Every structure is written in C-alpha cells, then in structure tokens.
Structure 1
Amino acid sequence: MDQYAYYDTPNDEEMLDWLGGLHGSEIITNAAGQPIAMPSDYHWRNDLVWVDQQLKAMANTRQFLDHQRLIQPEAFGADTVVLAPDPLLERLTTLFTVLVTMFHETDIGQYYRPSPYATRFLWAFGQCAYLHEAGFRQPPAMSRHEAEQVLTDLNQRLEAWHQSMNQLDFTYECNRNRRNSRNNYKRLCELMEALFECHSRLMVVRVDLGYSEFDSPYIGYETARYHRKQLCHAFNTDPLFNHLLGYAWKLEWQPKKGFHYHFIFFFDGHQCQEDITKARLISEMWAKAITGGQGHPWNCNLDAEQTYHYNAMGCIDYHDTAKQQGLFKLAKYLTKIDEYAAMLVNGRTFQTSRKPSSQDGPRRGRPRLYQGRPFNSGR
C-alpha cells in the first residue's frame, strides 16, 4: 500500500467534478435525508475554489468571443441586439459576479487570499460595465455598434488577462506556495536534527485532526484555529504531553473533509512507550474535550508498518538511519503547502515548535562516535 494512500486529496479533475456537482444539482442532507441549510461562508469558500479552477482552465485554452455568432437581434425585426448565450461569455459573467461581490462590493474577501489568477482577473475585468450589468441585473439590449464595442472590449480584457500571466511577478506569486514549502521543510528538518542532537531516542506520533462529515461544512477557519490553539494550550497543562519535546502542524482544506490539521509530535523516547496509545489518547482529546464531539481524528500510528512504505512512526534511535530517512520523507509531505488552505485563510497554515539548543536537556545513551548532522535531510 502506498504510504499516503488513505488520504482523499483530490486532483484538479476530481475537484472540478465535485465543484460542478456542488453548483449543479447536489443537495446536502443530514442522516435522515433532510436538506441542510449551509452557512454562507461554506458556499463562499467553495465558490472561491471553483473560480480558481475555472480561471486555470481558461488560462490553458486561450479562447475569445466571436462577434458574428454572438450578436443577435433582440426580437424579429428589432433594431436592438443582444449577445447570444455563449459558454465563454457565461463563464466570464459568473466569475466576474463572484469575484466582484467578494472583493469589491462586500467585506467577504477580507477573510480570503485570492489566487494570482483571480487578482489579475479583477485587474482586467473589475471595471467592465457590460459584465456588471449582465451579472448583477440582466444582459442589456443595445445597438449593433454598441455590441461590437462591448465584444471588442471583452476580448481586449481577455487578452490583457492572458498577457498578465506572462509577467515575472505572476510567476513569482504562483511559486509562493512552493517557496513556503521549501522554507517549512527546512524548519522541520532543523527541528528534528536539533531534537536528535539533544536526545538519542524520539517517539514519533502523528495524528490527523479533522471534523465529522456532518460538522465539517459548519467549521470555518476561525473555529478550526480556536480548536487548534486549545490543543496547543494543553501541551503545557495536560499530563498527556509531559514528555513532549517538539511538534509541527499543517492546516489543509479538502472539499469533503473541510478544514483539518496534520500534527506530528516528538516525545522523549526514553520516557514514553506505546506510541499507538499516545496517538489514540490525543485523538480522543480532540474528538471530545477540544471539539465537543465534532472532531473526527485519524490515528496514523495504528498499523503504521502495514500502511506506510517508509514507516517513521514510534520510537526512532539516533543510529537508526533507515527510519530517520523515512521521517524526512514524511517531512516532505507534511510541509507541502495546501493550495486551497493557503487561499481560504489569511492566517498561518504551518508551524513548528521552538528548536531546542544543546543546553536544553541531557543526551541519553552511549557516547556517539561522531558529531554533526545525524542524518542526511536531503536539503
């Protein structure tokens, strides 16, 4: 089995299929089959992801509006014309309406971080009079000359949007998540190396902390962050974390799971045993004490030997290079920035604990034969 096979991280095609259903005929119901009224921020989050996927698809196709086909008489024998139904025009109108509502006409957008595709779409189309009229009222009737001007204006804006994506600042913004992932990986590697410098045995515990299928649509970022902060507060107050040496967490968002956290904990391996039990107790704390029954955790240490090709769970000794390599492969996965979480929140999506120094604690075990970096982090 692949080491991350149980995750339901969607690819772009699966995301488009799911969002297409959401904006089409899908009805969300409770266990009794009754319709559930979704909170507005749930829909706005899904809309923003849908918009980003649509913009990426448009960027790859580079289509434009056809004057001859689109200009049609408003009625038989009428002097005025309208723009006929067209997939590209309808897509532009919908994208404009969502983005302008979120970022120009309301304060909804203050909670989100639009993608580089969306910011440039707003730059190109934000002041488009025709899309504003068509999106917020109804498509207007006009003279043939005015219709020609409208289509010329729309195509020029489309061209400007496509050209903006060839600029260096666009590439720089698109690579922001990749740069953040590299920085996060470096921080987590340095934390693990420092822990092994101070302690000859670590017990690694990993849990994924999310919400039930019923509750996840109602859990916004602020609620998820509050629950995460409550858990982190317990690190200093609950005996379960007495021998905790360090930790890292990453926030993700998925269409079916909503917001959820990946946590990795490093305990003193000389003081702690039974990593599966430790992970279970942390999971139970999340499910009951922290979230009041809304939480849905996953114990990654359970059956880790059979689940992961590179198992890095449980106790790892300083000289166990094979298991340490698995730990760094896991770190690569844990520090990859989730594109949707980064877009749907303005806050932090990754964090590690403070890196210890060699004076923070005695090193247990027999003397080491060499000094320096205990294993190759691949950096």
Structure 2
Amino acid sequence: MEQYTYDDTPTDEDMLEWLGGLHGGEILTNAAGQPITMPSDYHWRHDLVWVDRQLKAMANTRRFLDHQRLIQPETFGAATVVLAPDPLLERLTTLFTVLVTMFHETNIGQHYRPSPYATSFLWAFGQCEYLHDAGFRQLPAMSHQAAEQVVIDLNQRLEAWYQSMIKPNFAYECGRIRRNSRDNYKRLCELMKALFLCHSRLMVVRVDLGYSECDSPYIDYETARHHREQLCQAFNTHSLFNHLLGYAWKLEWQPKKGFHYHFIFFFDGHQCQEDITKARLINEMWAKAITGGQGHPWNCNLDAEQIYRYNAMGCIDYHDTAKQQGLFKLAKYLTKIDEYAAMLVNGRTFQTSRKPGSQEGPRRGRPRLYQSRPLNSGL
C-alpha cells in the first residue's frame, strides 16, 4: 500500500479543516456566513486547551482498549487485520497528533507550556510507533499477532500514563498554579498594606483591558504584551497617572475573549476623587492610543455599588475596615492564576508594582489618632 511523507508545516487551510474536525465541524464565519481564515496560532491555542480538557476527562474514566472488539479482518475472509474504529483509539490518535506536532515535530511548542497532563501523556506515548503511523501516515494491514501486540502496547502505555498521575511529582506540578496564586495573593496584600501604612486614603480603580470580538482571534501573546508594556510606560510619562501609588495586573485567556488583562490601580485618594472618570480615561487610552482601535475595555468602577457584593472601588480611608476587607476579597480573584494563560504563554501572567520603600521618608500629615484593625490577619 502506497505511503506518503507527512508535511509538518500545516497551512492555514489545513488547520481550519483540522480544527473543524476536532470541534465537531465548527468553523468561524463572518456575518455573511463566509469562512474566516484565522492565523495558525489561534488554532494551536484552541487545540492545546482542547487537548488538556480531553486528557483530564480520560484520566477520570481510566478506560482501556478491548482487543477482541478492535481487531477485525481487513476484508471478509482476509488473513490480514486492521484495528476497527473506536472512540478511545481515535481520541488517543488525535491527542498524540496534536501534541507531537506541537512539541516534537515542529518548534510550535516553544511558545507554549504544556500542562502536567500533556507532559505525562507525551512521556507515555511520545515514542508510540502505531500512533505515529496512525496520525501522520496511512496505516497498512497487519497480521493478527501484530495487531494484538499493538493493542497490548497501547494498553501498557495507558496504564503507565494513569500510574504517572498518582505519583508525587505529578501532584506537585499540578499544584504549581495554586502555589503561584497563593504567592501572588501574598504579594498584592503586602503591597496594599504598605500603601495604607504610607497613605491615609487610596483611590482604587479597576479596569479589564481586552480586545474587540473581531480582533481578539488575531491578537497573539506578543502583541498583548506589547500593548501592556506601552500602558505601563505611560505610568511614568502621562499626566493621567500623576498620582499613581501602585498597581497590579493579571493576564487571562478565554476561548471567545482571547488574551486580556485585569488591572487594579491605587491612586492617592487626597489628590484624586473621580474614580469612574479615571477608569474611563484609562480605558480610552487603551482602546485608542495603545491598541489603535482594537481594544475593548471595561470600567469596573462604573455602578460598582450595584454590581459587586463586596465593593472595593473608589476611595478607601485607612480606618474603613469594611471596605478594606472587600479589597482583600477582590485580591483573591485578581491573583488567581488563569490555567489557560499559564499554558499559552511562557512569560509573566501576574505582576505588582514595588512596595513603597523607606526612601519615601515619614508619612506626611498629622499622626493617626487610632489604628485600624489588621487589614488581613491571615498573612
């Protein structure tokens, strides 16, 4: 049977067809119903997230291949056999093809960080000859004995993969995001506590900085990072940030929204009062000056009293312990690392500004007559 060599540099058309097959034939279209050609990294991001979801589902079911049902004659009465269509086998083949293409066959994977599930899967199946042939070539018929050996090998690799996920190092890797989130929360809490020690009133502004629905598929991480860096550079040059005392940001990725940032700003509350206006002006800077019209921001300070159960927007005095507690509850959300963003980028997904240092000198103004309760006794 004729064989051909697999081309490991798929075109955008190839990826559209492949992505359609992975996700039930769904291909993005414009308002007129015409197919939209997406950049290849858009497909790879979606595929990597899809693979992670499939691997987690497989890990929970712990199924194996049934060789008696799989092994079937190539044709009626033939001595050679093939492996019949099987959902688990087809899933293994697809997952293998995506991961090996990204991390072994090409340099695509250098832009991403596979999850522990994907890493352990590649360890167990990366050198599987049958899945490589099934994914990249046309499988020849084989003898019944050879087919049995293939099924045995696949089941042994499945068992090895299942066993790898109950080992301490796997649990340690899975806990990395949780540990990073805990460390980020501690850093942000320390920043806020330090700011309240130096300043009697803070004005808190929170904005979500993303991209329009039609532009988000085309925004890769490098572009999003460049836009974020431009905004951060403006902290030192633009009058809008004259009284900025500190900030923090978190990167997230969602299938429909793509890459987007959550920002929280701390301004001197004695110098700044109009928090909603401040948030609106920052959003306008993002939408127009920084992203050139591609940006789609959200003003979290607008109607915050009605939207959020624990409102921590606007001005907060050092003695307003109730609103400060709301601020620390908000910090829990802002510092929780996004699992998808952690897979799709190799750079930072969270950062805070520096804490105010001793070089700033003593706090100005009259001494506080009393101290507020600890802002966060858990730290």
TM-score (structure 2 length as normaliser): 0.92
Aligned residues with identical type, % of pairs: 88
Code of the residue aligned with 1:34 in structure 2: it is Q
Q: Which moved more, 1:125-134 or 1:367-376?
A: 367-376
Indicate if the aligned counterparts of 2:203 and 2:268 stay in contact, CA closer than 8 A: yes
**Offset at 1:377?**
5.0
Matched residue SS, 1:348: coil
Whose RCO is larger (CA < 8 A, sep 6+)?
1
Q: Which moved more, 1:369-378 or 1:44-53?
A: 369-378
2:208 corresponds to which residue? 208
2:50 corresponds to which residue? 50
Matched residue SS, 2:360: coil
2:4 corresponds to which residue? none
Q: How does 1:14-163 map to 2 (within 5 A)?
A: 23-163=23-163
Q: Does 1:302 find its partner at 2:263?
A: no
**Offset at 1:140?**
2.8
Measured against aligned partners, the alpha-carbon deviations of 1:93-122 in whole angstroms (never above 9, x if no partner) come to 000000000000100000000000000100
**Offset at 1:368?**
2.0
Q: Structure 1 residues 348 and 134 mapped into 2: Cα distance closer, same or farther (>3 Å)?
A: same
2:312 corresponds to which residue? 312
Indicate if the aligned counterparts of 2:81 and 2:141 stay in contact, CA closer than 8 A: yes
- Give distance in 1, aligned partners of 2:307 and 2:103: 44
Code of the residue aligned with 1:272 in structure 2: it is C
Code of the residue aligned with 1:254 in structure 2: it is Q
**Offset at 1:139?**
3.0
- Give distance in 2, aligned partners of 1:194 and 1:326: 17
**Offset at 1:357?**
2.1
**Offset at 1:27?**
2.5
Indicate if the aligned counterparts of 2:205 and 2:278 stay in contact, CA closer than 8 A: yes
2:10 corresponds to which residue? none
Q: Does 1:229 find its partner at 2:229?
A: yes
Code of the residue aligned with 1:152 in structure 2: it is I
- Give distance in 1, aligned partners of 2:125 and 2:197: 55
**Offset at 1:46?**
0.3
Indicate if the aligned counterparts of 2:111 and 2:344 stay in contact, CA closer than 8 A: yes
Q: How does 1:145-184 map to 2 (within 5 A)?
A: 145-184=145-184
Matched residue SS, 1:104: helix
- Give distance in 2, aligned partners of 1:378 and 1:241: 32
Measured against aligned partners, the alpha-carbon deviations of 1:303-341 in whole angstroms (never above 9, x if no partner) come to 000000100000000000000000000000000000000
Q: Structure 1 residues 273 and 32 mapped into 2: Cα distance closer, same or farther (>3 Å)?
A: farther
Structure 2 gap ranges (5+): 1-18
Q: Which moved more, 1:368-377 or 1:312-321?
A: 368-377
- Give distance in 1, aligned partners of 2:371 and 2:320: 16
Structure 1 gap ranges (5+): 1-18
- Give distance in 2, aligned partners of 1:49 and 1:291: 26
**Offset at 1:49?**
0.3
- Give distance in 1, aligned partners of 2:50 and 2:339: 13
- Give distance in 2, aligned partners of 1:36 and 1:302: 35
Indicate if the aligned counterparts of 2:71 and 2:144 stay in contact, CA closer than 8 A: yes
- Give distance in 1, aligned partners of 2:58 and 2:224: 33
- Give distance in 2, aligned partners of 1:31 and 1:206: 33
1:344 corresponds to which residue? 344
Matched residue SS, 2:347: coil
- Give distance in 2, aligned partners of 1:20 and 1:40: 13
**Offset at 1:30?**
2.7
**Offset at 1:358?**
4.5
Q: How many residues are treated as equivalent by the alignment?
A: 361
- Give distance in 2, aligned partners of 1:343 and 1:377: 33
- Give distance in 1, aligned partners of 2:265 and 2:58: 42
Q: Structure 1 residues 31 and 377 mapped into 2: Cα distance closer, same or farther (>3 Å)?
A: farther
**Offset at 1:226?**
0.3
Q: Structure 1 residues 203 and 364 mapped into 2: Cα distance closer, same or farther (>3 Å)?
A: farther
Code of the residue aligned with 1:53 in structure 2: it is R
Measured against aligned partners, the alpha-carbon deviations of 1:61-112 in whole angstroms (never above 9, x if no partner) come to 0000001000000001111000000000000000000000000010000000
Matched residue SS, 2:240: helix
Q: Structure 1 residues 377 and 203 mapped into 2: Cα distance closer, same or farther (>3 Å)?
A: farther
- Give distance in 1, aligned partners of 2:201 and 2:22: 48
Measured against aligned partners, the alpha-carbon deviations of 1:8-47 in whole angstroms (never above 9, x if no partner) come to xxxxxxxxxxx99972232312344432100000000000
Code of the residue aligned with 2:326 in structure 1: it is G
1:11 corresponds to which residue? none
Q: Which moved more, 1:34-43 or 1:275-284?
A: 34-43
- Give distance in 2, aligned partners of 1:59 and 1:69: 22
Q: Structure 1 residues 279 and 361 mapped into 2: Cα distance closer, same or farther (>3 Å)?
A: farther
Indicate if the aligned counterparts of 1:304 and 1:313 stay in contact, CA closer than 8 A: yes
